[in-house]
């Protein structure tokens, strides 16, 4: 089935009332009815809801739909995109291990993966995801994961996914791709051999800026890669915290199962059922929204490219963009989603533009139907040092737009007047 159909119907089995809308199962717990059934559920002899920190029927519809859209075997939802990234990495790497992290990623992911995770004894080594030229020589026997964004926020650069995957496979390292900005409508990392896909559902999936959420999807092939693999003993040796359970012995997709039974069980960043429901509403229109976001963004990028006060425009849909060839190679119909960034001469002029737009709101978010303008150097990337900023490509005069679904002409007029001064 095509994406649009899956997004509307997949994974929902109507209950006795046959409700058309997926119900919000706003409950903490579930009646097991008998002691035996309770024991079976805990022993995984039978699968079913236990407690909403572990699973919930509304959240399960969201999980099933995103797994189908990403062409994966299974998915798990988390309370935020940050939690999804943390769990995906923590499921693979432990103290003493290292991970390879793309330089061009979301600011929150950079602080999480280079600073916070260091305090857990995991070292991050940075690489250039544009061409992966500095990836291979940094891999050693303690490298447990390679993390990158397919279409990076806020640099709007496209990863050389095939090269990254080829190197990772040669060294038996698991790849994690953050597909938040591209969305499964434009790009499917799993079809290119990626093992794990993560999302901030707060962005395009939700689409209206109404709830925070995260998702982790695993590929069909991942089970075979993890089973019997000495690099990942946590899937092959008895888990003492789960009465000696060996994940590799189970007939289920074991990557997300271990996130559920170990990480979410213990650390607990589980989604609220109502937030899952909001993300389900968003998914229903994702395919048509992404087409519009992409078309609007291209019109605005062309306008900016012709503006005398703009030094450089980053949008992979533009023929002049350094990422255009990759957009043609990887992205469906060369759609490039709604992020456009551009460079003006100074930090002061960048701020002037932010202060004078009327339709674009100054908000640190992306993927909303309403257009957004941000100045990464003074907000999302403010916590980074000058050297780190340089590494992630965020210059003082960089302005980022998340182009929404308003009429493109109105948005262009707004930018035009804000740049007059
Ligand atoms: C926003 C974002 C995140 C973090 O997600 P939250 O839902 O805000 O926790 C991770 N990756 C990317 C690419 C993002 O844009």
* pLDDT for the residue numbered 384: 73
Domain that holds residue 65: 3-274
Instruction: Locate the ligand 1 atom nearest the alpha carbon of residue 367 and give its number.
Output: 15
Which ligand 1 atom sits closest to the C-alpha of 366?
15
Q: What is the CATH number of the domain that holds 144?
A: 3.40.640.10
Question: What is d(CA 6, CA 58) in angstroms, rounded to the nearest whole number?
Answer: 16
pLDDT at position 364 is: 87
Domain boundary among 274, 304, 320: 274
Element (H, E) at 109: helix 107-114
Residues 204 and 306 in one domain: no
Residue 106 Cα to ligand 1 middle (Å): 7
Minimal CA–CA distance to 85: which of 242, 200, 168, 211? 200
Q: Which residues are CB-neighbours of 307 under 8 A, at least 6 positions away?
A: 416, 419
Choose one of 274, 297, 322: the last residue of a domain. Answer: 274
The verdict on 93 and 238 lying in the same domain is: yes
| Main-chain phi, psi angles of 219, to 5 degrees | -80, 160
Residue 216 φ then ψ, to 5°: -125, 130
Number of structural domains found in the chain: 2
CATH (domain of 338): 3.90.1150.10
In a domain, 306, yes or no: yes
Residue 56 sits in the same domain as residue 195: yes
User: 23 and 167: one domain?
Assistant: yes
Judge contact between 320 and 365, C-beta under 8 A. Answer: no
334 lies in some domain: yes
Distance from the alpha carbon of residue 31 to the mean position of ligand 1, in angstroms = 35
**239 and 293 belong to one structural domain:** no
For the chain, the helix, strand and coil percentages under 3-state DSSP, each to the nearest 5: 40, 15, 45
Q: What is the pTM assigned to this prediction?
A: 0.96
Task: Give, using CA atoms, the residue closest to atom 12 of ligand 1.
Answer: 106
Check whether residue 264 and residue 344 sit in a common domain: no
Same domain, 382 and 267: no
- Considering the domain architecture, whether residues 265 and 292 belong to the same structural domain is answered as no
Provide the 8-state DSSP code for 272.
Answer: P
16 part of a folded domain: yes
196 close to 174: Cβ distance less than 8 angstroms: yes
171 & 248 share domain: yes
Question: Is the residue at 92 inside a domain?
Answer: yes
Which ligand 1 atom lies nearest to the CA of residue 85?
10
Residues 308 and 233 in one domain: no
Taking CA atoms only, the protein residue closest to ligand 1 atom 7 is: 81
Residue 283 lies in a domain: no
Distance 3 CA to ligand 1 centre (A): 22
Query: In sequence order, what E strands does 228-383 have?
Result: 312-314, 339-343, 361-362, 372-374
Helix (H, G, I), strand (E, B) or coil at 99: strand
Tell me which residues have their CB closer than 6 angstroms to ligand 1. 80-82, 106, 108-109, 149, 153, 178, 180-181, 200, 202-203, 212, 214, 366
Give distance in angstroms: CA of 155 to centre of ligand 1: 14
Note whether residue 282 is domain-resident: no
- Around 406, how many Cα atoms within 13 Å sit in the side-chain half-sphere? 18
Indicate which atom in ligand 1 lies nearest the CA of residue 83: 9
Of 274, 304, 337, the residue that ends a domain is 274
**343 shares a domain with 260:** no
Question: What does the pLDDT read at residue 381?
Answer: 73
What pLDDT score was predicted for residue 392? Answer: 65
Q: Is residue 281 part of a domain?
A: no
* 297 in Cβ contact with 327 (< 8 Å): no
Q: Are residues 209 and 237 in the same domain?
A: yes
Q: 376: CA distance to ligand 1 center in Å?
A: 14
Residue 280 is assigned to a structural domain of this protein: no
Please report the pLDDT score of residue 387 as a whole number.
78
Q: Mean pLDDT in runs of 10 for the chain (421 residues)?
A: 94 94 97 96 91 97 98 98 98 98 93 96 97 98 98 93 98 98 98 98 98 98 96 97 94 97 97 98 98 98 97 96 98 98 94 96 95 89 75 83 98 97 72
Strand 361-362: give its sheet, edge to edge: 312-314, 339-343, 398-402, 372-374, 361-362
Per the rule left: phi > 0, alpha: psi between -120 and 50, beta: everything else, 367 is: left
């Amino acid at each position: 089935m095509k994406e649009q159909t899956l997004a509307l119907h997949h994974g929902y089995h109507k209950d006795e009332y046959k409700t058309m809308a997926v119900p919000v199962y706003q409950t903490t717990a579930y009646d097991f009815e008998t002691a035996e059934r309770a024991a079976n559920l805990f022993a995984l002899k039978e699968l079913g809801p236990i407690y909403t920190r572990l699973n919930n029927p509304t959240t399960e519809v969201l999980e099933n739909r995103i797994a189908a859209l990403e062409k994966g075997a299974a998915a798990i939802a988390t309370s935020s995109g940050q939690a999804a990234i943390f769990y995906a990495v923590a499921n693979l790497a432990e103290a003493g291990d290292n991970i390879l992290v793309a330089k061009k990623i979301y600011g929150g992911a950079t602080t999480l993966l280079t600073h916070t995770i260091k305090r857990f004894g995991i070292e991050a080594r940075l690489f250039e995801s544009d061409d992966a030229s500095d990836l291979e020589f940094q891999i050693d026997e303690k490298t447990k994961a390679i993390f990158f964004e397919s279409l990076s926020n806020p640099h709007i650069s496209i990863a050389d996914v095939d090269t990254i995957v080829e190197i990772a496979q040669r060294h038996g390292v698991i790849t994690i791709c953050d597909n938040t900005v591209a969305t499964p409508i434009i790009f499917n990392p799993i079809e290119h051999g990626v093992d794990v896909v993560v999302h901030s559902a707060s962005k395009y999936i939700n689409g209206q800026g109404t709830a925070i959420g995260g998702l982790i999807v695993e590929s069909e092939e991942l089970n075979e890669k993890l089973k019997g693999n000495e690099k990942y003993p946590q899937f092959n040796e008895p888990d003492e915290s789960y009465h000696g359970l060996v994940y590799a012995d189970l007939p289920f997709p074991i990557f997300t199962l271990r996130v559920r039974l170990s990480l979410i069980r213990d650390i607990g960043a589980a989604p609220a059922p109502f937030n899952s429901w909001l993300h389900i509403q968003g998914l229903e229109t994702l395919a048509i929204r992404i087409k519009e976001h992409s078309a609007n963004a291209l019109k605005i990028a062309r306008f900016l490219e012709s503006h005398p006060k703009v030094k450089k425009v980053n949008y992979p849909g533009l023929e002049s963009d350094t990422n255009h060839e990759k957009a043609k190679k990887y992205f469906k119909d060369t759609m490039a989603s709604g992020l456009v960034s551009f460079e003006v001469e100074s930090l002061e002029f960048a701020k002037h533009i932010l202060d004078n737009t009327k339709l674009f709101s100054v908000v640190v978010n992306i993927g909303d139907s309403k257009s957004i303008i941000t100045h990464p150097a003074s907000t999302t990337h403010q916590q980074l040092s000058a050297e780190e900023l340089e590494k992630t490509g965020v210059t003082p005069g960089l302005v980022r737009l998340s182009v929404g679904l308003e009429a493109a002409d109105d948005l262009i007029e707004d930018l035009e007047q804000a740049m007059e001064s």
